[in-house]
A and B are shown apart, each in its own frame.
Chain A
Amino acid sequence: MDRAHHRLRSPWPWAAILVGCVIGWGQGQRAHADAGVVAGTAAAESILNEHRLPLAAWIVGIGAATTIFVWRARRGRPPTIRRIAALEAVDEAIGRATEMGRPVLFIPGIQDMDNIQTVAGVTMLGRVAKTAAEYDAAVEAPVCRSLVMEAAREAVQASCLAAGRADAYQPDRIHYVTDEQFGYVAYVGGKMMREKPAACFYMGCFFAESLIFSENGNSIGAIQIAGTAESSQLPFFVAACDYTLIGEEFFAASAYLSGEPDQLGTLQAQDSGKVAVMSFIVIGAVVATAGVLMPSAAWLGELGALLRKAMGG
């Protein structure tokens, strides 16, 4: 285990990514040249998608920042992370469920494992399951995708082992219900009403069912902690749940709870990206305003257009 982890912490993933990019680039160039020959035209058109170059630059920038901050964290300079109330409340919610002798309900959203929110939700499930195993509380996780069920079982099993409570892992508590959105809603709603879980976690991608879940949870008096990146569903969670992880907080949750310097370093990279975006917005607003006040200064218009392009506009 340690050897595998050591290898993964080494530069090999980076090397693999670099080799993948080089091979992909080479294959792409060859395919493009072939296409040019077939079509009887020179491969004058760039194989790069120029419209997406600003986005590529942002990704490279965030990647570089991630590397730097992870490296700094590994050298004993981990960042200070502000307190997130919703994550501080996780232990409290599970503790309450333990005291009341009721289960903890975890919903990892309604999308499949190809959605990054579901991945973040399953990660959070692992953290919740570890605490629940330590406290001897039961975690129920009905899911609406078969692959999510398998991933969730793996995460919970590993968490129970990490907590030294291998016996706490019961695969039947993580079960598939249906892919159908409102069929799933009906099942979870009925389960809430019958079993009255003391704590409910909603972490993942949600749509219309967000309010139905959280209002049901509210009616049975459960502590509710939600997290999603669906901005249209955030108001419903904020209105009905005790704590809500809003957007980026949801993605930061796993790193925050792990406390590992590597993962905390990535949060710092995320924040540096935010600072860069804010700087661009402020500069763009100043340039646009100055352009209106000084219509004769053509360079302001060109600078504004350049900034818009840099932001992917």
Chain B
Amino acid sequence: MVLTRLIPLWIAIVSGVAILVSAFIRPMESWGENFTDTFNVIAAIASVLGAGSLLKANLAKVSRRDAGWGFALVVLGTFLITLVVGLGKIGVHPSHDFPQADFGGKQESADTPFGWIYEFAMVPLTSTMFALLAFYVASAAFRAFRAKNLEASLLLGTAFVILLGRTFAGVVLTGWLPDWASGLRLENLSVYVMQVFNTAGNRAIIIGIALGVAATSLRILLGVDRSWLGGGER
């Protein structure tokens, strides 16, 4: 109990208060950075646990021949190859500063095997996943912009104005309006909607979030909410 609940809670309270106070007292400004560095060191050590979990989960999937076990095999293979190439600094050129050391150079450069894996396997794959977003945006917009009721119709109309106003089509469609009615041109109308209505709504949400963050932080700092430690029930 003491090791798993009380000590972590007090570490959270002390480090949380120190970071909070360091934001307001000049000589203590570096404290916040020190705690952040400490967190990064702990996270780096914990990555070993993550690697262990990854291996265990995927080995179990392969051995049980679960659905998609072939993908697990690919994960295991690529994980081990990247690990060996990266930790072993395979194919890394000597550094200019230390030419006598064979593995003194940086492994991130594209002409090393590790850099090659990143540049020609990792980047294209992540770009492909990101590109899928365009299709998901289209399908979500199709569902969201159905004029089912008054609110949905207003949303559809506003989206129509913004979409057209952000493209050259908007300029072509309403460019003929005289100067005294230039506020009704789609490109100006979209700017107005974004700067007034959207900003007002967005700021209301952001103020609520800021207060929510403050209240949640206080709940944790005061030990009122301990469910993140697994000890939420009284």
**Cβ of B17 and Cβ of A185 under 8 Å apart?**
no
User: Looking at the complex, which one of B28, B31, B228 makes contact with A151 (CB distance below 8 Å)?
Assistant: B228
Q: Tell me, in angstroms, the Cα distance from A48 to B227 when the chains sit together.
A: 34
Q: How many chain-B residues does the 8 Å CB contact rule pick out?
A: 84
Q: Give A81-115 as 1s and 0s: 1 = Cβ < 8 Å from B's Cβ atoms.
A: 00000000000000000000000000000001010
Check: A234 CB closer than 8 A to any chain B CB. yes
Given A114-B36, A126-B228, A266-B224, 9 additional A-B pairs, CB 8 A: A52-B24, A59-B214, A123-B232, A162-B233, A183-B125, A190-B71, A194-B67, A231-B205, A263-B219
Q: With the chains together, A212 CA to B144 CA distance in Å?
A: 15
Of A131-139, A245-253, A286-294, the stretch lying at the interface with chain B is: A245-253
A116 to B16, CA, bound (A): 11
Asked if B222 and A24 sit within 8 Å, CB to CB, the answer is: no
Chain A 250-278 interface mask (CB, 8 Å, partner B; 1/0)? 11101100101011001101100110010
Contacts of A183 in B (CB 8 A): 125-126, 129
Please tell me if A17 contacts chain B, counting CB pairs below 8 Å.
yes
Proximity bits, B1-22, A CB within 8 Å = 1, else 0:
1101110011001100110111
Bitwise, B206-228 to A at CB < 8 A (1) or not (0) is: 11110111111111111111111
Interface residues, chain A, with chain B CB atoms under 8 Å away = 1, 4-5, 8-9, 13-14, 16-17, 20-21, 24-25, 27-29, 31-32, 35, 45-49, 52-53, 55-56, 58-59, 62-63, 66, 70, 112, 114, 116, 119-120, 122-123, 126-127, 145-147, 149-151, 154-159, 162, 172, 175-183, 185-186, 190-191, 194-195, 208, 211-212, 214-215, 218, 229, 231, 234, 236, 238-240, 246-248, 250-252, 254-255, 258, 260, 262-263, 266-267, 269-270, 273-274, 277
Asked if B148 lies at the interface with its beta carbon under 8 angstroms from chain A, I say no
B234 at the interface (CB under 8 A from A): yes
| Count of inter-chain pairs, beta carbons less than 8 A | 263
- State which residues 100-135 of B face A: CB under 8 Å: 122, 125-126, 129-130, 132-133
**What is the CB-to-nearest-CB distance from A105 to chain B, in angstroms, rounded to a whole number?**
15
A274 touches B140 (CB 8 A): no
What are the residues of chain A within 8 A of B217 when measuring CB–CB?
116
Interface residues of B in 1-53 (CB under 8 A from A): 1-2, 4-6, 9-10, 13-14, 17-18, 20-29, 31, 36, 39, 42-43, 46-51, 53
Contact A4 B133 (CB under 8 A): no
Name the 3 nearest CB pairs between A and B, nearest first: A251-B212, A146-B50, A158-B230
B209 neighbours in A (Cβ, 8 Å): 229, 231, 247-248, 251
Partner of A123 from the list B137, B228, B234 (CB cut-off 8 Å) is: B228
- What would 10 A/B residue contacts be, using CB atoms closer than 8 Å? A4-B1, A49-B25, A52-B23, A66-B222, A112-B43, A123-B227, A149-B50, A151-B228, A176-B53, A252-B215
User: Across the interface, which residues of A come within 8 angstroms of B9, CB to CB?
Assistant: 8
- Show the binding face of B for A, using Cβ within 8 Å: 1-2, 4-6, 9-10, 13-14, 17-18, 20-29, 31, 36, 39, 42-43, 46-51, 53-54, 56-57, 60, 67-68, 71, 122, 125-126, 129-130, 132-133, 136-137, 139-141, 143-144, 202, 205-209, 211-234
Given known contacts A146-B43, A181-B126, A176 and B28 CB-to-CB distance under 8 angstroms: no
A146 to B44, CA, bound (A): 9
Verify B18–A49 contact, CB threshold 8 A: no
- With A126-B227, A172-B60, A248-B208 known to touch, is A13 a contact of B222 (CB < 8 Å)? yes
Query: Which of chain B's residues have a CB closer than 8 A to the CB of A157?
Result: 230
Given A47-B25, A158-B232, A251-B212: A13 touches B68 (CB 8 Å cut-off) = no
Q: Are B232 and A258 in contact (CB under 8 A)?
A: yes
- B46 → A minimal CB distance (Å): 4
B46 & A20 in contact (Cβ 8 Å cutoff): no
Are A66 and B215 in touch, CB under 8 angstroms?
A: yes
Given contacts A20-B17, A48-B24, contact A8 B226 (CB under 8 A): yes
- CA A300 to CA B230, docked complex, whole Å: 53
Partner of A273, one of B4, B214, B225, B226: B214
Q: Measured between alpha carbons, how far is A24 from B30 in the docked complex, in Å?
A: 12
Report how far A234 CA is from B213 CA in the complex, Å: 17
| Residues B223 and A49 in contact, CB atoms below 8 Å apart | no
Contacts of A126 in B (CB 8 A): 227-228, 230, 232
Are A231 and B202 in contact, with the CB atoms below 8 A? yes
